[in-house]
Amino acid sequence: MNAVAPARGSTARRLAAAARVVSRVADERRPLDEALQSESHDIQAADRPAVQALAYGTIRWWPRLERYMSLLLERPAALAPQVRALLAVGLHQLEQSSHPVHAIVDETVEAARVLRAPRATAVLNAVLRRFLRERAALLERAARDPVAEFSHPLWLIDALRADWPAQWRETLAANNLQPPMWLRVNRRKVTAAAYIQSLADAGIQAARSEHAPEAVLLAAPRDVEQVPGFAQGLVSVQDCAAQLTAPLLDVRDGMRVLDACAAPGGKACQILEHAAVELLALDASAARLEQVRENLERLQLDAAVVAGDATAPAQWWDGRPFDRILIDAPCSASGVIRRHPDIKLLRRPADIEVLARQQGELLRASWPLLAPGGRLLYATCSTLRAENHAVIERFLAQTPDARALPLAAPGHPGADAPGLQILPGEAGMDGFYYACLEQRRT
Q: How far apart are CA 312 and CA 308, in angstroms?
A: 8
CATH fold of the domain at 181-237:
Alpha-Beta Plaits (3.30.70)
Q: What are phi and psi for residue 100, nearest 5 degrees?
A: -55, 130
The residues near 391 (Cβ < 8 Å, ≥ 6 apart) are 356, 359, 360, 363, 378
Do residues 295 and 320 touch, judged by C-beta distance below 8 A?
no
CA dihedral over 387, 388, 390, 395, signed as positive or negative = positive
Helix/strand number for the chain, H first, E second? 18, 12
Architecture per CATH, 241-439: 3-Layer(aba) Sandwich (3.40)
Q: Return the pLDDT at 6.
A: 37
Do residues 252 and 230 touch, judged by C-beta distance below 8 A?
no
Q: Can you list the residues of the chain whose pLDDT is less than 50?
A: 1-7, 414
Q: What is the DSSP code (8-state) at residue 430?
A: P
The pTM assigned to this predicted structure is 0.93
Q: Return the pLDDT at 1.
A: 32
CA dihedral over 311, 336, 209, 434, signed as positive or negative = negative
From the list 240, 261, 331, 381, the catalytic residue is 381
DSSP 258-296: EETT-TT-HHHHHHHHHS--EEEEEES-TTTHHHHHHHH
Q: How far apart are CA 166 and CA 284, in angstroms?
A: 38
CB 229: neighbour CB atoms within 10 A?
16
381 is a catalytic site residue: yes
Q: Return the pLDDT at 2.
A: 36
Q: What are phi and psi for residue 404, nearest 5 degrees?
A: -85, 130
Do residues 199 and 191 touch, judged by C-beta distance below 8 A?
no
Q: Burial level of 416, CB count in 10 A (0-12/13-18/19+)? A: middle
Do residues 92 and 69 touch, judged by C-beta distance below 8 A?
no
Q: How far apart are CA 224 and CA 237, in angstroms?
A: 8
Do residues 423 and 385 touch, judged by C-beta distance below 8 A?
no
- Closest of 180, 156, 149 to residue 61, by C-alpha: 149
Cα torsion at 417, 439, 282, 356 (round to 10°)?
-40
Q: Return the pLDDT at 10.
A: 86
Q: Return the pLDDT at 98.
A: 84
Do residues 344 and 59 touch, judged by C-beta distance below 8 A?
yes
- Closest of 376, 276, 374 to residue 325, by C-alpha: 376
Helices (H), 164-313: 168-175, 192-201, 245-249, 266-274, 289-299
Q: How far apart are CA 58 and CA 228, in angstroms?
A: 31
Do residues 196 and 207 touch, judged by C-beta distance below 8 A?
yes
DSSP 106-129: HHHHHHHHHTT-GGGHHHHHHHHH
Do residues 376 and 327 touch, judged by C-beta distance below 8 A?
yes
Q: What are phi and psi for residue 421, nearest 5 degrees?
A: -110, 125
Give the CA diameter of the chain: 83
Measure Cα distances from 227 to 5, 20, 230, 365 in Å: 36, 30, 6, 40
* CATH superfamily label, 6-145: NusB-like (1.10.940.10)
Q: How far apart are CA 370 and CA 357, in angstroms?
A: 21
> Would you list the domain boundaries of the chain?
6-145, 181-237, 241-439
Q: How far apart are CA 374 and CA 365, in angstroms?
A: 15
